[in-house]
A and B are shown apart, each in its own frame.
Chain A
Amino acid sequence: MLEQILLIQFLRQYGKNLLDNLDFENYDWELLIRQARRANLLSRIAVFLQKGDFLEKIPEKPRLHFLNAIQLANANARSAKYEVQQIYKTLHAENIDFVLLKGAAYIWANTDSAQGRLFSDTDIMVSKMDLDAAENTLITKGWFGEIFDDYKQRYYREWMHEIPPLQHLQRQTTLDVHHTIIPPTSRLKPKPKKLWDHADALENMSGLFVLSPVDMILHSATHLFHEGEFNQGLRDISDLDLLLRQFIVPNNLWELLLVRAIELNLERPLYYALNYTQHILHTPIPDSYIAESAKLGNLNTLQTRFMNSLFLRALAPNHSSCKVSGLGIASWLLYVRSHWLRMPIHLLIPHLTRKSWMQFTGKSTR
């Protein structure tokens, strides 16, 4: 099923360094562009093509879409830099250290996963101790809470790993302030202190950090496989693929990755990350480590087979040309699962009931 999707074929070819084998004149660029745009990967593949000096070989009409996508990525990177500078000025003045997460971290640490990465929200993590001070400081400097609904406020503050999103009054940008990488009510319990201990400081910016490369991979995996938002699933798989190829593959650091996953109690998301990047994008991961991570994650064959059937559907691009049967039910099951993973059952049932009621009455759309 995945083999037939042009975008996936393309990403695999890039991974094998075989893009120069493409028939640039007659390739189905239109389909590739459509699938990639839908998967939020158009800028990334445009950057891949640019890096290989292939853009000039592509017919003009599709080439313009790639150039356009590169412009968007550059603009995104510029504004991500500026946004972080503003946050840094604000928090550093109060001696609050913070870690950049996800897209902003990739851009600042200049990882391969920064290539053509588009994102709109900035995600940071402060220590729980600094959380109130950080929120108050940000609010005095122009960031405001977007959520006024009492129930949602309580939902964030009691159960989530972040405070309700903040929005900058003039720039309209969104800032998510986390205190850990996964909701505290989750079954998985990575200790934030362990993440801080390994975090890398950014040059010339004392108090500003990114997660260590290994932790970046584990966080990306946890985010994808535990948050239930699969609309950008393939983009996230591509992030993982690029991070693994940059930091783990060259020196065979698989053992290190497994050990770290055990330390952080993130064995299962690691298994999923390794399994699906290999399966979907042919990331060169030794099978023995995938088997090992499945064992560490306590997953038996029946479970993995069932999860496969769900994830592989949900991770395909959501474009009309790649529709797979059973996508609706798979997405729903994964959505329920993500809540099941982060909330004890006595919290979960009333929460989902309330959510579906709000949707039914048209007061909220998910």
Chain B
Amino acid sequence: MCNFKFKSGELSVSLQTSMSTVKQHCELVYKHFPSPKETDFVDFHVSVNPVKGYRRWLRPQVQFSFDGYEPFAPLPIEQAPAFFEWGLNWCIANNTNQYLIIHAAIVEKNGYGVLLPGTPGSGKSTLCAALVCQGWRLLSDEMALLSITDGLIYPAPRPISLKNQSIQIIKQFSSEAVFGDIIPDTTKGNIAYMCAPKVSVISQMIPVVPAFIVFPHYRANSETKLTPLAKSRAFMTLAENAFNFNILGSVGFEVMADLIDKVECYDFSYPDLISALNGINDIVAKHEKE
């Protein structure tokens, strides 16, 4: 049994696993992450282990446990590393109501936080990975943690999960990106994890001011188009994409309203990765000039 501990932003994780695949995954993708000290408080004690029982001979499976609680049905054993990442996402989404948790990638450049809320197929993760390869700081590719006390977004960097063709696209885009093995045939298709760059990990305790919300829409053979989005619409869409909006109740409503009041909101459709990157960089550059 191996115990692997790391800190992602403000959150400390302790993982118990007997599986070499999970151990290798963590040693690769969490390589640069600091470990909590022996006396430090650990937020999430989780484990990922093979399911015992007679059926393991027929169809070996893996189970994720949050300190003895198993929120999911077991998965095929090959998916163990992904199960760990998903399980940890679940732990964070359900146990950090000090944040309004928005389903969005969040990256930063020159002090400007850019939220990329993603519907499936919007290209959010691909775009996020490419921005990060270009030197943007990664705060999260899945969950923007918006503090309910100070309105800042707190980093919780983790490896970026890429699916299917996106894996190849990013590998071609950047020769420096480090990837784990491809995990085939998950419910999301083939996935691979790209390591968070070391600089993002080093600055993982520094929150950012959210400045832009950009709703990306990948549309092949279209024109690149940046359209200002009515704040009321952005508010409604973002509320739907917040995991714990109703748990926070009126607090969540107020925090979301404050966020929307102070950021610029855009709809952004793009035909390919390069135009997308140019578009996002332009938003910040234009703002800096003004």
Measured CB to CB, the residues of A under 8 A from B are 29-30, 34, 37-38, 59, 61-62, 64-65, 67-68, 71-72, 74-75, 78-79, 318-320, 362
Contacts and interface: CB of A to CB of B under 8 A. Distances in A.
Contact of A71 (B42, B67, B97): B97
B24 interface: no
A43 B67 CA distance: 17
Given A62-B41, A65-B95, A319 B67 contact: yes
B92 to A, nearest CB: 11
A34 B98 contact: no
B96 A38 contact: no
Interface of A is mostly: helix
B41 A30 contact: yes
Contacts of B68: 38, 318-320
A68 B97 contact: yes
B65 to A, nearest CB: 10
Interface string B245-263: 0111101000000000000
Interface string B82-117: 000000000000011110000000000000000000
Contacts of A59: 41
B45 interface: yes
Interface string B67-81: 111000000000000
Contact of A38 (B67, B97, B248): B67
Interface of B: 12, 41-43, 45, 55, 67-69, 95-98, 246-249, 251
Contact of A68 (B12, B42, B95, B246): B95
Contact of B246 (A29, A34, A75): A75
B41 A71 contact: no
A72 B43 contact: no
A34 B45 contact: yes
Given A37-B67, A78-B249, A319-B68, A68 B41 contact: no
Contacts of B251: 71
Given A29-B41, A34-B45, A68 B98 contact: yes
B43 A75 contact: no
Contacts of A79: 246
Contacts of A319: 67-68
A78 B55 CA distance: 42
Contacts of B248: 71, 75
Contact of B55 (A38, A62, A362): A362
A350 B160 CA distance: 52
Contacts of B98: 64, 67-68
Contacts of B12: 61
A320 B3 CA distance: 15
Given A37-B67, A64-B98, A320-B68, A72 B247 contact: yes
Contacts of B45: 34
B96 A68 contact: yes
Nearest to B246: A75
A34 B95 contact: no
Contacts of A68: 95-98
Given A30-B41, A38-B68, A78-B249, 19 more contacts: A30-B42, A38-B67, A59-B41, A61-B12, A64-B96, A65-B43, A65-B95, A67-B97, A68-B96, A68-B97, A71-B97, A71-B248, A71-B251, A72-B247, A75-B248, A75-B249, A79-B246, A318-B68, A319-B68
Contacts of A320: 67-68
B67 A74 contact: no
B69 to A, nearest CB: 7
Nearest to B42: A30
A64 B147 CA distance: 12
A342 B216 CA distance: 58
B175 to A, nearest CB: 39
A29 B41 CA distance: 8
Contacts of B67: 34, 37-38, 319-320
A72 B95 CA distance: 9
A61 B249 contact: no
A318 B248 CA distance: 29
Contacts of A78: 249
Nearest to A34: B67
Q: Which 9 A-B pairs have the closest CB atoms?
A: A61-B41, A71-B97, A75-B247, A68-B97, A64-B98, A38-B68, A30-B41, A34-B67, A319-B68
9 contacts: A37-B69, A59-B41, A61-B43, A64-B98, A68-B95, A72-B97, A74-B249, A75-B248, A75-B249
A61 B96 CA distance: 11
Most chain-A Cβ atoms within 10 A of its Cβ — which of B41, B42, B55?
B41
A38 B43 contact: no
A71 B95 CA distance: 10
B55 A71 contact: no
B69 A71 contact: no
Contacts of A67: 97-98
A65 to B, nearest CB: 7
B183 to A, nearest CB: 25
A320 B80 CA distance: 22
Contacts of B247: 71-72, 75
